[in-house]
Amino acid sequence: MAESVLLSQAARDRIVAEHQELVAKVASAPAGTEPDDDAVRAARLADILENGTVVDPADPPQDSVPLSLEAYERIYIEHLDLTTRGKIDIARKIETARELGDLSENGDYHAAKEEQGKMAGRINHLANLLGNGIITESTSSTTVQAGAVVGLRYEGDTDVERYLLGSIEERVEGVEVMSPGSALGQALVGHAVGDTVEYETPTGAKLKVEIVSVGG
């Protein structure tokens, strides 16, 4: 787990509740039972609580990345897997390919080295997300903030488009992800349902959108 974890108060409250439930389930397991997924997750949540610092998601630190608890845990698990099993596996592939000889014409070796490079890039990306992530929780607030699902209606259009304001690592069925650092994301944060905001696209065009819903 990252040495320091940023999280909103709402996220912390949720983690405390889920941790208590998991601890109770683990405690009720028969004596001598091997640690299961509940025990592993309980330890992970305890680590988050121990190293967590509560921040205001409406006023996040610079370069921070909003993440749901699910996304944070998914990123952590993938990062742990790549830095342990993944590194061992790719090292074995490279060593096996070396034994085939003549590295200049060894397709297996070059493929393994390319895979190693891609994996290193992914590890660095995940580490950056863990280091700069803020664990957020959707609230009943009508004000747009990181982690919220926002319904928007563009000027001159009748359709409502829904976006999750967060990291690309988020996965919500039927909802596109929008970075809080994007032009539209920055324009939306702090505004409420019923507000109309204007933002400038990368091409220089200025568009207006009405905030129809937040969090639903």
- Mean pLDDT over 81-107 rounds to 89
Is domain 5-136 annotated with CATH 1.10.510.10?
A: no
Is the Cα dihedral 137, 77, 20, 4 positive or negative? negative
Is domain 149-214 annotated with CATH 3.10.50.30?
A: yes
- The dihedral formed by the CA atoms of 29, 79, 185 and 200, expressed in degrees to the nearest 10: -160
- Predicted local distance difference test score (pLDDT) of residue 193: 93
Higher pLDDT, 80 or 101: 80
- Encode pLDDT of 22-56 as tens digits: 999 999 888 777 778 899 999 999 999 999 999 98
Does residue 112 contact residue 166 with C-beta atoms inside 8 Å? no
Helix (H) or strand (E) holding 10: helix 9-27
- Mean pLDDT over 5-28 rounds to 93
Does residue 187 contact residue 197 with C-beta atoms inside 8 Å? yes
Distance CA 40, CA 26 (A): 10
User: What's the pLDDT band for 70 if we cut at 50, 70, 90?
Assistant: confident
135: amino acid identity, one letter? I
Percent above pLDDT 90 for the chain: 54
- Where are the domains positioned within the chain? 5-136, 149-214
**Distances from the Cα of 169 to the Cα of 31, 32, 59, 157, 195, angstroms:** 38, 38, 21, 29, 28
